[in-house]
């Protein structure tokens, strides 16, 4: 994050190890970091002038001097030596020599075979971006790692259709007759729509030439004459395959991008979904003949996932209308679950509803037909009757659930269902003639249906793909030979393509099209100059980090892709600190306690059968004498989350040692965190004589919401509360959390013989304070902002991180890596930008100095207790005393 000015901007401190004191020696809104002590000077990097440069100051304090004056590249990793400071800038090493005051670039030549940059063959099943199935399922199509492949159902070999190491092909689909592949490729420098023969013959045809923004997947019309696509300019368009002419269907400015669009059976209508500011989706049908759109669903209910019946009878879709309530376990509160239902709208007035009452009748004799004669009937679907379309909608005989992935065949409707949150989706088929659904297969993450409606291509966990019959309870034995999907990767060519793709993703997905004032093409050229020196995938990530940093924004992350990684074997941990003892054994200096029944806080040495106390000795692990190793953890290598046999004694001797069967853990972070919470709570209890409660929130995601209820409930009756937001890692937007913290009793309930009870019972009427620091991040920024806005109490500590631009997902890179772009930004009610790259400032500034923390003190907590006790001295909110029950009723 270049040019950062938030609450986590670093300053320099000096710690006196003899006196056990610390002192802050710089105090600037910019970043000061990477100190190097040379002689009596401290050198460090700082972006006080908005590019990191080398600065220096006397160690005893005094004037700060700027040493270098780079403007294109940052000064990174300064490292001090006896007579100079070495640093990196622009991919080169430089040295500054204080004696002469000169700075020069070092000329270094290192022989290297650049092994990670050599071409190699890789299996690409892990990098499949899209797939499709041939009309009769003879072959399947994959876009994987930037290339197009077809794979036979049974016989033959995989075929690479594209072979473009310098370009990337994505979003591939087969034409209805299976002869042509439509796809997006950046071969021209921007993603354009291309067509090519599905057998790989001939040369591809470039169908569009106006690419300047990210496009979403093209969708074929059933007659193969049109391709619909949407883009990040919030447009929906289609292109005529024959002429290449493009028609704009719609452009939006509210809600989310248009990403769902499907063609009607007669190729005349295009169904798509738009959303309003409240997130309610609505389905529209665009008539390509009349050149206008028609509403297919009401504006009142969220709708999505449109799918046309291939015989032109129905438009299927999902809609949230079944607001099932489920009550939670802790308080009288509830959520709405399984809200979606499946619907079918008759496309014409003469089409019978998809669901109707049934009555068994005597069949007509063979050769006779009951009703109109179908001989000579034109089976081509008729045009849609838009008038009354919404009123011709019925719900299918399927209960409320979590549905998606709708595809229709003549037999009925295929749909995915998530049985529970986080569970793998199941694929179901609703049969029209039977009026019911049943499971096709479980664990289907995505799927495709052949044009003839007879075959399914099912994607399952572990990069497994199965060709199966389109029927209930289908056979899943037809697994494709995914190992045949192999590609010769030229890393340098792929890295160059991914570099441009990453740059383009940031350009097209960042919330501000002005790129925070950056000349984005110039940024591309600046760092592209370093591409020839990229020798590993980690080098490319370094370039990505530099490009992303130019955005001057939070929540832009680089996630690595296909990178060489050493094999790791997790060691087992015991939830304890061990110290070497003169006997050769190891002594338990501290044993961390856990929470019974909570796996996240499982402490291996804190159960009734495995309890160990500080001061005891570790004698052996799995029969190996502890004296045979210098490091106790050598006895626990490769034993994370496994049972081990310990011998433990209260004296350093094997004689009389007891044997414990213990299950190790792979991390002690949560146990150490729990210990820290309890120590903070004990401190607050001691300082306030038990009057003030203490709640720490580690983040605003799952852990933080769990900790809020776990810690708040037993302290809800304290006179005052300290809410500790320090080191809050963020996660969700914390509106639910602040709603709970802000609750005050609305009234009380009086029951016979019992004291009045507040309603809601999780509410707190007393004073509160919130602790913050530079590690209060993202959702941890929003929480104190809300706390102040609702007037809940003072903020105490130091300014927060200042990261309230959010992420909502964007495309990955060819090898599975990703640059996550910030897609939305915090805007205050007054129309001003707030918090981002600034942070939330405290009402009372308190710096938790390192030497005080090392001594076990906590200045922020001490100040919060002082402030709250002063508030309590003014009076403590009390529950009302109930008067005598009324008796005068006119008797």
Could you report the per-residue pLDDT of 166-204, keeping only the tens digit for each? Answer: 999 999 999 999 999 999 999 999 999 999 999 999 999
459 vs 464: CA distance, rounded Å? 6
* pLDDT tens, position by position, 267-312: 999 999 999 999 999 999 999 999 999 999 999 999 999 999 999 9
698 vs 708: CA distance, rounded Å? 9
Residue 456 has pLDDT above 50, yes or no: yes
237, two tokens: 């368009």
Per-residue pLDDT at 359: 76
Lowest mean pLDDT among 364-373, 655-664, 785-794, 879-888: 364-373
Q: Tell me the average pLDDT across 658-677.
A: 98
CB of 560 within 8 A of CB of 537? yes
Percent of the chain with pLDDT over 90: 91
Evaluate the omega torsion of the peptide bond into residue 760 and state whether it is cis, within 30 degrees of 0: yes
507, two tokens: 């350009």
246 vs 175: CA distance, rounded Å? 18
Tally DSSP H helices, then E strands, for the chain: 9, 58
CB of 30 within 8 A of CB of 46? yes
Per-residue pLDDT at 599: 93
* Confidence at 323, pLDDT banded by 50, 70, 90: confident
Residue 483 has pLDDT above 60, yes or no: yes
Per-residue pLDDT at 612: 98
Residue 376 has pLDDT above 70, yes or no: no
Per-residue pLDDT at 889: 85
330 vs 716: CA distance, rounded Å? 14
Per-residue pLDDT at 84: 94
Residue 856, burial from CB neighbour count under 10 angstroms (0-12, 13-18, 19+): exposed
799 vs 788: CA distance, rounded Å? 13
Residue 417 has pLDDT above 50, yes or no: yes
- A 10 A CB-CB count for 64 gives 17
* pLDDT tens, position by position, 218-244: 999 999 999 999 999 999 999 999 999
pTM assigned to the model: 0.93
Q: Tell me the average pLDDT across 424-450.
A: 96
Contacts of 580 (CB under 8 A, 6+ apart): 586, 587, 630
Q: In the block, which residue shows the tokens 């011709």?
A: 392
Residue 377 has pLDDT above 50, yes or no: no
* Confidence at 793, pLDDT banded by 50, 70, 90: very high
Q: Tell me the average pLDDT across 382-403.
A: 95
Q: In the block, which residue shows the tokens 């939070």?
A: 554
Q: Tell me the average pLDDT across 329-336.
A: 85
Per-residue pLDDT at 372: 45
Better-predicted residue by pLDDT, 83 or 214: 214
Per-residue pLDDT at 326: 87
Of 554, 539, 415, nearest to 91 by C-alpha is 539
Mean pLDDT across the chain, nearest whole number? Answer: 95
Q: In the block, which residue shows the tokens 């799918």?
A: 307
Backbone phi, psi, residue 492, to 5°: -65, -40
Per-residue pLDDT at 291: 96
Per-residue pLDDT at 367: 57
150 vs 169: CA distance, rounded Å? 13
540 vs 818: CA distance, rounded Å? 12
Lowest mean pLDDT among 104-113, 483-492, 709-718, 855-864: 104-113
Q: In the block, which residue shows the tokens 């438009």?
A: 315
User: Coil, helix or strand for 61?
Assistant: coil
Q: Where in 595-749 does DSSP place strands (E)?
A: 617-621, 624-625, 643-649, 658-663, 692-696, 720-724, 747-749
End-to-end CA gap in the chain: 78
Cα 655 to the center of its chain, rounded Å: 53
Helix 537-549 vs helix 520-528: crossing angle, to nearest 10: 150
Residue 251 has pLDDT above 70, yes or no: yes
Residue 369 has pLDDT above 60, yes or no: no
792, two tokens: 């809940």
Residues 275-306: b if buried by 16+ CB within 10 A, e if exposed: beeeebbbbbbbbbeeeebbebbeeeebbbbb
Of 815, 771, 597, nearest to 129 by C-alpha is 815
Per-residue pLDDT at 378: 52
Q: Tell me the average pLDDT across 701-723.
A: 97
Q: Tell me the average pLDDT across 678-686.
A: 98
Residue 795 has pLDDT above 90, yes or no: yes
206 vs 185: CA distance, rounded Å? 9
Q: Tell me the average pLDDT across 531-548.
A: 96
Q: Where in 629-711 does DSSP place strands (E)?
A: 643-649, 658-663, 692-696
784 vs 772: CA distance, rounded Å? 8
- A 10 A CB-CB count for 668 gives 17
User: Coil, helix or strand for 438?
Assistant: strand
Per-residue pLDDT at 558: 96
CB of 664 within 8 A of CB of 692? no
Q: In the block, which residue shows the tokens 């350009």?
A: 507
Residue 493 has pLDDT above 70, yes or no: yes
Beta strands 818-820 and 643-649, pairing class: unpaired
Of 133, 164, 159, 127, nearest to 147 by C-alpha is 164
Of 624, 615, 495, 559, nearest to 145 by C-alpha is 495
């Amino acid at each position: 994050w270049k040019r950062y000015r938030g609450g986590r901007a670093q300053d320099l401190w000096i710690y006196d190890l003899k006196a056990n004191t610390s002192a802050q020696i710089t105090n600037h809104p910019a970043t000061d970091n990477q100190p190097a002590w040379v002689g009596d000077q401290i050198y460090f990097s700082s972006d006080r002038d908005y590019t990191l440069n080398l600065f220096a100051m006397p160690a005893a304090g005094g004037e700060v001097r700027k040493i270098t004056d780079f403007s294109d590249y940052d000064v990174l990793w300064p490292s001090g030596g006896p007579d100079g400071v070495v640093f990196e800038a622009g991919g080169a090493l430089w040295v500054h020599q204080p004696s002469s005051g000169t700075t020069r670039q070092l000329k270094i030549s290192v022989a290297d075979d650049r092994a990670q940059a050599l071409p190699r063959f890789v299996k690409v099943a892990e990098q499949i971006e899209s797939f499709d199935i041939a009309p009769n399922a003879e072959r399947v199509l994959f876009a994987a790692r930037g290339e197009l492949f077809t794979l036979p159902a049974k016989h033959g070999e995989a075929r690479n259709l594209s072979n473009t190491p310098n370009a990337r092909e994505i979003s591939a689909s087969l034409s209805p007759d299976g002869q042509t592949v439509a796809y997006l490729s950046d071969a021209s420098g921007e993603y354009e729509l291309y067509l090519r023969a599905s057998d790989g013959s001939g040369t591809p045809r470039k169908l569009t030439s106006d690419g300047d923004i990210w496009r979403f997947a093209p969708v074929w019309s059933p007659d193969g004459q049109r391709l619909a696509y949407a883009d990040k300019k919030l447009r929906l368009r289609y292109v005529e395959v024959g002429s290449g002419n493009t028609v704009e269907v719609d452009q939006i400015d509210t809600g989310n991008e248009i990403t769902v669009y499907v063609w009607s059976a007669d190729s005349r209508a295009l169904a798509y979904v738009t959303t309003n500011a409240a997130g309610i989706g609505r389905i529209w049908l665009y008539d390509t003949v009349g050149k206008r759109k028609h509403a297919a669903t009401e504006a009142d209910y969220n709708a999505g996932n449109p799918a046309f019946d291939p015989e032109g009878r129905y438009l299927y879709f999902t809609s949230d209308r079944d607001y099932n309530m489920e009550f939670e376990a802790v308080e009288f509160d509830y959520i709405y679950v399984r809200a979606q239902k499946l619907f079918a709208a008759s496309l014409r007035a003469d089409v019978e509803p998809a669901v109707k009452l049934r009555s068994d009748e005597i069949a007509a004799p063979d050769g006779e037909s009951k009703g109109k004669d179908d001989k000579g009937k034109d089976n081509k679907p008729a045009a849609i009757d838009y008038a009354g379309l919404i009123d011709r909608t019925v719900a299918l005989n399927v209960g409320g659930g979590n549905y998606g992935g709708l595809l229709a065949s003549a037999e009925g409707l295929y749909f995915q269902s998530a049985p529970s949150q986080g569970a793998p989706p199941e694929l179901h088929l609703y049969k029209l003639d039977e009026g019911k659904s049943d499971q096709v297969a479980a664990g289907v993450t995505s799927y495709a249906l052949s044009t003839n409606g007879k075959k399914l291509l099912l994607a399952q966990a572990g990069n497994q793909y199965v060709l199966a019959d389109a029927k209930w309870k289908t056979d899943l034995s037809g697994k494709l030979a995914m190992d045949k999907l192999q590609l010769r990767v030229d890393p340098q060519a792929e890295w160059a393509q991914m570099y441009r793709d990453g740059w383009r993703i940031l350009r097209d997905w960042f919330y501000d099209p002005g790129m925070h004032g950056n000349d984005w093409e110039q940024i591309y050229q600046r760092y592209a100059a370093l591409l020839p020196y990229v020798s590993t995938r980690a080098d490319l990530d370094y370039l990505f980090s530099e490009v992303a940093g130019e955005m001057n924004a939070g929540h832009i992350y680089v996630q690595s892709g296909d990178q060489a990684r050493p094999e790791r074997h997790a060691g087992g941990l015991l939830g304890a600190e061990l110290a070497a003892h003169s006997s050769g054994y190891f002594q338990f200096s501290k044993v961390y306690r856990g929470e019974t029944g909570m796996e996240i806080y499982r402490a291996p040495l804190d159960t009734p059968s495995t309890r160990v106390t500080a001061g005891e000795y570790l004698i052996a692990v799995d029969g190996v004498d502890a004296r045979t190793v210098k490091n106790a953890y050598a006895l626990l290598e490769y034993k994370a989350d496994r049972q081990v046999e310990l011998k433990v004694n209260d004296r350093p001797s094997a004689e009389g040692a007891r044997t414990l069967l213990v299950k190790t853990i792979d991390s002690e972070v949560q146990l150490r965190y729990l210990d820290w919470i309890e120590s903070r709570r004990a401190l607050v209890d001691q300082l306030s004589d038990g009057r003030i409660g203490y709640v720490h929130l580690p983040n605003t995601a799952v852990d933080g919401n769990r900790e809020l209820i776990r810690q708040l409930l037993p302290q809800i009756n304290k006179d005052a509360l300290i809410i500790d937001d320090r080191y809050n890692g963020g996660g969700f937007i914390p509106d639910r959390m602040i709603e709970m913290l802000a609750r005050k009793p609305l009234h009380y309930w009086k029951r016979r013989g019992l004291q009045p009870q507040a309603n809601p019972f999780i509410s707190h009427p007393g004073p509160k304070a919130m602790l913050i620091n530079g590690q209060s991040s993202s959702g941890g920024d929003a929480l104190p902002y809300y706390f102040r806005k609702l007037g809940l109490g003072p903020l105490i500590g130091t300014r927060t991180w200042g990261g309230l631009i959010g992420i909502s997902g964007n495309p990955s890179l060819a090898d599975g890596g990703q640059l996550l772009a910030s897609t939305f930004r915090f805007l205050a009610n007054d129309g001003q930008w707030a918090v981002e790259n600034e942070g939330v400032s405290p009402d009372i500034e308190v710096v938790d100095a390192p030497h005080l923390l090392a001594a076990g003190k906590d200045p922020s907590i001490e100040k919060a207790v002082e402030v709250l006790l002063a508030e309590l001295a003014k009076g403590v909110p009390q529950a009302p005393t109930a008067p005598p029950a009324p008796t005068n009723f006119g008797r």
